[in-house]
Amino acid sequence: MRRILIIGGGGMVGQKLAHRLSAHGLDGDRNIEVTLFDMAFPEGGAPAAERITGQLGTPADIDSLVAARYDVIFHLAAVVSGDAEANYQKGWEINGASVLHFTRAVQAEHAASDGAWVPRIVFTSSIAVFGPPFPEKIPDDQPLTPQTSYGAQKACAEFMLNDLGRKGAAEVVVIRLPTIVVRPGKPNLAASSFFSGIIREPLNGQEAVLPVEDDVRHWHASPRAATGFLVHAAGLDMALLGDNRVLTMPGVSCTVAEQIEALRRAAGDRAVALIRRAPDETIRRIVGGWPRDFAPKRALALGFTADRDFDEIVRIYIEDELPDSPP
């Protein structure tokens, strides 16, 4: 039996990943056992063999997880972008120091097993590791120049995880996720939260606030695509990655205006009318330093697939979160 740990298993992506593993197994293998770790879990959430409550900022919690020697570890947990920017110490403690402690713990446990324990670790990074100036499409070899604390923290985590893989203590795959939309539930503290809000709230008959201009362009993927990235990464042939274990995921590049038109095609003018423009200079500044489009050739060559367009992203939200909505 393969034992799987999802760090951040109470969050949206973690829950969807757990549901997917329960329904389909991993790489066709249904003989798996899934454990979730997070600060809290939603009531009636995804099935799991065990749910462990704890915090990444507590070293003993990390040590306990690593000592259990799971076969596959999905590390999804982080302080999100807006929160990391507003709370400097908190962001570096969770997105930086706890990742360093995690890699050290894995290396120590690998050594304690005389090299027998070599887990597959799939770690989620972010396109926020890139900052301006940008080429029209960012290539796989673009230098990391983050312009936010969150981006800097994720860049540091990438180097730490890649080095852990280089040392042979784990099979490491780091995937840079696009901004995940449309997120179900309530807005979170991510600066990118409005990208989901301007679709989710109108589809639920509620007002949405748009803090940036319509011509802002960004890189998106659906939650369904994100879980697909994670599962695919867990089964990759490590020999194909070479010395660079970090991959930028494919996605959909579109402007806010194009998002709104996709909403209009799905739900009509009445839904679009629920979007209220309220410029927010802090959000505009953060988002203005983010990348807009990519040429993720390595990930595509390795079989990662994303949504076809933003219309599909909207359809996925309706299918997965609003199944009783009229066609």
Report pLDDT for 290. Answer: 83
What CA–CA distance (Å, rounded) separates 307 from 157? 27
Whether residue 154 lies inside any domain: the answer is yes
We report the CATH number of the domain holding residue 108 as 3.40.50.720
Of 70, 88, 150, 317, catalytic: 150
Whether residue 290 lies inside any domain: the answer is no
Over pLDDT 70: what percentage of the chain?
99
User: Do 228 and 305 contact (CB within 8 A), yes or no?
Assistant: yes
Q: Which of 179, 180, 134, 176 is nearest to 158 (CA)?
A: 176
- Catalytic residue list contains 150: yes
Report pLDDT for 123. Answer: 98
Q: How confident is the model at residue 325 (pLDDT cuts 50, 70, 90)?
A: low
Report pLDDT for 28. Answer: 87
- What is the domain extent for residue 125? 2-178+222-248
Whether residue 303 lies inside any domain: the answer is no
> Sign of torsion, CA 181 51 90 110?
negative
Asked whether the predicted pLDDT for residue 327 surpasses 60, the reply is no
Higher pLDDT: 290 or 58? It is 58
Whether residue 268 lies inside any domain: the answer is no
Report pLDDT for 286. Answer: 83
What tokens appear for 300 in the block?
A: 């595509």
DSSP 42-77: -TT----SEEEE--TT-HHHHHHHHHT--SEEEE--
Q: How confident is the model at residue 312 (pLDDT cuts 50, 70, 90)?
A: very high
Report pLDDT for 81. Answer: 83
Report pLDDT for 136. Answer: 87
What CA–CA distance (Å, rounded) separates 58 from 101? 10
Give pLDDT tens digits for 243-278: 999 999 999 999 999 999 999 999 999 999 999 999
Whether residue 159 lies inside any domain: the answer is yes
Interacting residues of 326 by C-beta distance below 8 A, sequence separation 6+: none
What tokens appear for 16 in the block?
A: 């969807």
Per DSSP, the three-state class of 213 is coil
Whether residue 190 lies inside any domain: the answer is no
Give pLDDT tens digits for 11-62: 999 999 999 999 999 988 999 999 999 999 999 999 999 999 999 999 999 9
Report pLDDT for 77. Answer: 94
| Residue 19 to residues 13, 46, 78, 85, 150, Cα–Cα distance (Å) | 10, 5, 20, 31, 28
Report pLDDT for 51. Answer: 98
Please count the other Cβ atoms lying within 10 Å of the Cβ belonging to residue 239: 6
Q: How confident is the model at residue 232 (pLDDT cuts 50, 70, 90)?
A: very high
Report pLDDT for 190. Answer: 77
Instruction: Tell me phi and psi for residue 175, to 5 degrees.
Output: -120, 125
Give pLDDT tens digits for 149-171: 999 999 999 999 999 999 999 99
Number of domains observed in the structure of the chain: 1
Whether residue 37 lies inside any domain: the answer is yes
Type and span of the H or E element at 228: helix 223-234
pTM of the entire predicted model: 0.94
Whether residue 260 lies inside any domain: the answer is no
Give pLDDT tens digits for 52-104: 999 999 999 999 999 999 999 999 999 988 889 899 999 999 999 999 999 99
* Mean pLDDT score across all residues of the chain: 95
| Residue 114 to residues 103, 117, 181, 258, Cα–Cα distance (Å) | 17, 8, 43, 54
Please count the other Cβ atoms lying within 10 Å of the Cβ belonging to residue 1: 9
